[in-house]
Amino acid sequence: MGRYLSNILLQDALNKYLEDLNNSTLEEELIDVDESLGRMTSEAIYANLSSPFYNCSAMDGIAVKAQKTFMANEQNILSLKEYEDYVVVDTGDPIPKEFDAVIMIEDLLEKEDGYVKIYQSAIPWQHVRCLGEDVVEKEMVIPSFHTIRPQDVGAIISGRVDKVKVFKKFKIGIIPTGTELIERNQEPKIGDIIEFNSRLFEGLIKGYEAKPVKYPIVEDDYNKIKASVLKALDECDMVLINAGSSQGREDFTYDIIDEIGEVCLHGIAIKPGKPAILGQANGKPIIGIPGYPVSAWVVMENIVKPVARKLMHKNIEEPIKINATLSKRVMSSLKYEEFIRVKLGYINGKYIATPVKRGAGTITSLVNADGVLKVPQNVEGLEEGESVEIELLNNISNIHNTIVSIGSHDIVMDILNNEISKKSFGKVRLSSSHVGSFQGLLAMKKGECHIAPIHLFDTETESYNIPYIQKYIEKDVAIIKLVKRTQGLIVKKGNPLNIKSIEDVVNVRYINRQKGSGTRILFDYLLNKNNIKKKQVNGYEREESTHMSLAKAIENNDADCGLGIYSAANVFGLDFIPLCEEEYDLLVDKSMLNSEYIQILLDTIKDKLFINKINTLGGYNTEVIGEIVNV
Amino acid sequence: MGRYLSNILLQDALNKYLEDLNNSTLEEELIDVDESLGRMTSEAIYANLSSPFYNCSAMDGIAVKAQKTFMANEQNILSLKEYEDYVVVDTGDPIPKEFDAVIMIEDLLEKEDGYVKIYQSAIPWQHVRCLGEDVVEKEMVIPSFHTIRPQDVGAIISGRVDKVKVFKKFKIGIIPTGTELIERNQEPKIGDIIEFNSRLFEGLIKGYEAKPVKYPIVEDDYNKIKASVLKALDECDMVLINAGSSQGREDFTYDIIDEIGEVCLHGIAIKPGKPAILGQANGKPIIGIPGYPVSAWVVMENIVKPVARKLMHKNIEEPIKINATLSKRVMSSLKYEEFIRVKLGYINGKYIATPVKRGAGTITSLVNADGVLKVPQNVEGLEEGESVEIELLNNISNIHNTIVSIGSHDIVMDILNNEISKKSFGKVRLSSSHVGSFQGLLAMKKGECHIAPIHLFDTETESYNIPYIQKYIEKDVAIIKLVKRTQGLIVKKGNPLNIKSIEDVVNVRYINRQKGSGTRILFDYLLNKNNIKKKQVNGYEREESTHMSLAKAIENNDADCGLGIYSAANVFGLDFIPLCEEEYDLLVDKSMLNSEYIQILLDTIKDKLFINKINTLGGYNTEVIGEIVNV
């Protein structure tokens, strides 16, 4: 504990590390050509046979002796005798030794049994694919250090080569460590963590064109971990230890590497991922990878990948980058290069980048991200509206085919996401950011989204959405009516605290929604109407960003009560005290209404299948779904 | 025979064909999440468990009751009692139900056995990773029609999902047909063709993310082919028949498709690849693919790929394109869109595209190509120097790391290619075009290559290379001395025709090198010197473009004699009558001499290993190898 961690720049760390590692030579193996796709040759491949290995006809026609045709022309029609002067050949047929040219069937004047007439002389070797036209025996077909592609397999076989020498697959051992880890098929109990990083690593390693070797979970025991590392070192070309790279009470990675090899450096100026340990034994890299999945991912992509590719003698292709406008301010640490995951939308011809959840523990932030924004060390942050460079994690065509939704959360939006994917066979997807109705309204105003789901209650007019739109949005927008939904108090099953109305929230542990969400605005309105002060509400400050997570917290007894929608209560079998029905609509730029994507969205929400699914959830009224209201 | 072939534009053919095919629904299957990487979900995946599934500490420290810390500040140090007011927690440890916040270890003022002192209050839920922070139970983790990536696998496992519903792999059956075809492990005899297209297809199909199913070779027998097609149709989602798509005597593909399903169209305006047949049975595509490998490749990439990807509900990523300058004139058919394979070089900041061999039968043209130039229908050709768009077949970084050599052929250049690959661990490669010394000289003049291997004999001064350079090249160039090599007459083993000198070539079947090659110039000089007329030489017009193919033709008794280098004769165990020693040098732009690539080349040719390999070939003098001569 308290060991000093360095804070070296990523590129410097990599350079230092690669210098320290021996550029160890990969072993080679002899494999069947049928297995060679994607492998790298360790020796040049030479043809054993020419291709073609005999002179053959390139056309359907007759093989002739060119010399015997020299006199033929339009004035001097020549008659040739079969088997003596010519033989019939199809494309690919061998040319008998005594012949040296082919006349195409189209150029024969007359063809009778045993005779043909010609009116053109043949140039020697015309329409003949000569021996070795493609590959000459004993010539090099493929050089060393070449990664074999489908056409290379074809050329190797055509040169009659059966076995090729290639480098063995580069094996990367993965050792998950931690007493709290369980395999996914074990029964989880409080305190357990289902181990999934090793599967994330496996997938990434396959992408690096290396071979992952997953070892069993090892508990936090110095000797057991050491034994596993020694085994992996013996069997693999590189070893990853996950986690134990920090300085906690049970972080053994440093000491183990230090004992069996040497630590090159510990601590890199990246966030997340800073406590990575780069070490080696006998020239084989051993890397200690932090435990949080996003930290682990950053270390995999930025350290493990370049190191492995270098040792495999493979290039690292530059990531594809685009310029995007940042939709909100990003704060960053001066001390570290930060890796911010962003969603991307293509809106009115511009790419808009919106940061997703930043916690290093949220694997879903990688699921939802379309790209990574790297904020360099010594930069305090980036402002909203700034143009930034994003490294893509997703295909650009997927980004172009995404309907960007920013605003309120409802389970309906999750279902809509799935149904749009189905309707478009995966071509179009819906990407939702749950930031609350008011932020959605502002995102629409600023042109950062295609649609904004909102349910904003105006206390003056006691009506939904339209007053807000009229007040805040200047451009031409329309409303796509989605659902009326029932808001109320979500309480525990059987309502043990006997909560009956908004006035009862002062006596229980409340759980709230985030600022700017329509449900929060509604809650504040209800408090005000009932003369309850925010201070009186125990838990007013505790925020969840979706109805689902709020309901789940109540189910788990972390809170007694929260305002939310009926369907969320229903999912978890909780009790529900209805308070009001509100209008949950989609705000859309009018110029977008006729776009292909909004049409697919409209087709989807008007589909009976979709409507049935929503009604099954309960608490929704779908009477006017799909109607368009101009504002 | 004589069936009418259509000549429909590629895009129109594709559109018509896709319309004709049912957008058949893929079957789904339930698979283990460990096997799910790269598969496409057929149903949305919902979490079975929240992640984390309990409130846990985000830091190393102590779990406290926030309410009990409210009074703490610098003026009011609070003392907390272990187990009553707090418990020690490490990152990831569960927070017991009675606590609701974490204070970091760094923020503890004093820590004794059983007591800690604090000087700051804790906000409820600070440093706590709340239940469901990442994934909430029963929420959607992954929608339908989503291709599973490594991070998705992580998220699915963290939501405790074991099995996922995905679409079955799209199977494409490959049926090689042709009585002349043999498997690569069979003993080839004249008339046989080693079947390799099916392996080319397998590799390509894997790249399309489908699953290839290779069927055995079927001889040209209507019923046998039909039986194989029916079996493949039963087992696969798409069937490819190769070949038999033309109108030859044994081309059955059309009639078989017509019998068991229907032909949508036969004949597309592409070259090569025009006789492709697009058909279907029960909505499953059956495609007749021409036999020549390049024709087959064009049909695979331009028809099979988009059709398969469409039916798999996958996007087709746009190919990466660059603009390049065409180094030589390309003639094209007005009737077809032509697919010209080109090599690419990056020279003085410009991409230079040089067409490779055009024969549809040469698989090596695909091995050597870096890109494809598509010449549209109704365009007669493209001029030298024109700017053209090239679709890349190779990584752009490989193209940037290529030393482009244009000029004379020598086996030494093949070895150099391999040794440069080895020396640079595959980073740098040498790409050689064998067009002869004089064309190499002109390519250097025009800035189309980095180096030009030349051996140009000046009859006036009876010296090599320098007179030509002085006459034709204006810019500053240098010569890298490579080898002196022995030229002479290559004749059959044992020299059965007793050829002794250049005068004897008039009595035998000669085989020549192509116009512009140094060897041809030398031959003409020798003829002239000996008062022999070209007309007197039987076979003067027969051209080979490498020493190897010339020697192979003599070994095969297609000719009796040809001028060439000793090493080529040696490879095939032929006899050799030495005539002269010539200087085979590398011409290089002086400004390039200090470039990284030329330095690697110089390091390579001065390497003993390389010199030894050359000397083993015989007929070379390497005394001055690597010396630089300024011209």
> What ipTM was predicted for this assembly?
0.94
Q: What is the pTM of this model?
A: 0.93
| Record: contact B143-A180, CB cut-off 8 A | no
Contact B256, B214 (CB under 8 A): no
Contact B592, B598 (CB under 8 A): yes
* Mutation choice for B interface testing from A367, A399, A538, A546 by most B CBs within 10 A: A367
Instruction: Measure in Å the smallest separation between the Cα of A203 and chain B Cα atoms.
Output: 5
* Of B138, B313, B552, Cβ closest to residue A50: B552
Residues from chain A that touch B398, judged by Cβ atoms under 8 A, are 315
pLDDT in tens, B123-134: 989 999 999 999
What angle, rounded to 10 degrees, do the helices at B608-617 and B411-423 form? 160
pLDDT in tens, B333-366: 999 999 999 999 999 999 999 999 888 999 999 9
> How much is the pLDDT for A246?
73
Tokens for A152? 């290379």
* Mutation choice for A interface testing from B46, B128, B157 by most A CBs within 10 A: B157
Q: Chain A to chain B, count of Cβ pairs less than 8 Å apart?
A: 314
- Compute and round to an integer the Cα radius of gyration of chain B: 35
Backbone conformation region of residue A591, classed left if phi is above 0, alpha if psi is from -120 to 50, else beta: alpha
State yes or no: pLDDT of B30 exceeds 90: yes
Residues from chain A that touch B130, judged by Cβ atoms under 8 A, are 544, 549, 553, 558
The percentage of chain A sitting over the pLDDT mark of 90, rounded to a whole number, equals 90
Rounded to 10 degrees, what is the CA torsion of B54, B59, B64, B65?
Answer: -60
Residues from chain B that touch A363, judged by Cβ atoms under 8 A, are 51, 134-135, 151, 154-155, 158
Contact A62, A79 (CB under 8 A): no
Residues from chain B that touch A359, judged by Cβ atoms under 8 A, are 129, 133-134
Residues from chain B that touch A132, judged by Cβ atoms under 8 A, are 548-549, 552-553
Q: Kindly indicate the confidence band of residue B2, based on its pLDDT and cuts at 50, 70 and 90.
A: very low
pLDDT in tens, B83-117: 999 999 988 899 999 999 999 998 998 888 899 99
Mean pLDDT of B421-444: 93
Mean pLDDT of chain A: 94
* Mutation choice for A interface testing from B151, B297, B366 by most A CBs within 10 A: B151
Residues from chain A that touch B200, judged by Cβ atoms under 8 A, are 150-151, 153-154
* Of A34, A203, A246, Cβ closest to residue B199: A34
* Of A44, A199, A546, Cβ closest to residue B418: A44
Alpha carbon B166 to its chain's center: 30
| Record: contact B157-A317, CB cut-off 8 A | no
Instruction: Measure in Å the smallest separation between the Cα of B461 and chain A Cα atoms.
Output: 35
* Of A37, A194, A362, Cβ closest to residue B160: A194
Residues from chain B that touch A395, judged by Cβ atoms under 8 A, are 315, 317
Largest distance between two CA atoms of chain A: 116
| Record: contact A135-B364, CB cut-off 8 A | yes
The Cβ-side half-sphere exposure at A555, using a 13 Å CA radius, reads 22
Residues from chain A that touch B317, judged by Cβ atoms under 8 A, are 395, 397
> How much is the pLDDT for B357?
83
pLDDT in tens, A124-134: 899 999 999 99
pLDDT in tens, B554-606: 999 999 999 999 999 999 999 999 999 999 999 999 989 999 999 999 999 99
pLDDT in tens, B53-76: 999 999 889 999 999 999 999 999
pLDDT in tens, B219-272: 999 999 999 999 999 999 999 999 887 766 668 999 999 999 999 999 999 999
| Angle value at C-alpha A528, between A527 and A532, nearest 5 degrees | 55
> How much is the pLDDT for A23?
66
* Of B92, B158, B424, Cβ closest to residue A194: B158
Length of chain A: 631
* Of A94, A129, A318, Cβ closest to residue B190: A94
| Record: contact B157-A191, CB cut-off 8 A | no
| Record: contact B151-A90, CB cut-off 8 A | no
| Record: contact A58-B361, CB cut-off 8 A | yes
| Record: contact B199-A154, CB cut-off 8 A | yes
Alpha carbon A224 to its chain's center: 35
Instruction: Measure in Å the smallest separation between the Cα of A166 and chain B Cα atoms.
Output: 13
> How much is the pLDDT for A318?
86
How far apart CA A490 and CA A341 sit, in angstroms, is 33
pLDDT in tens, A36-54: 999 999 999 999 999 999 9
Mean pLDDT of chain B: 94
pLDDT in tens, A484-531: 999 999 999 999 999 999 999 998 999 999 998 999 999 999 999 999
Tokens for B421? 């690959």
How far apart CA A60 and CA A78 sit, in angstroms, is 20
State yes or no: pLDDT of A165 exceeds 90: yes
> How much is the pLDDT for A1?
39
Query: Residue B336 in 3-state DSSP?
Result: coil
| Record: contact B153-A92, CB cut-off 8 A | no
Closest alpha carbon within chain B to A125: B542
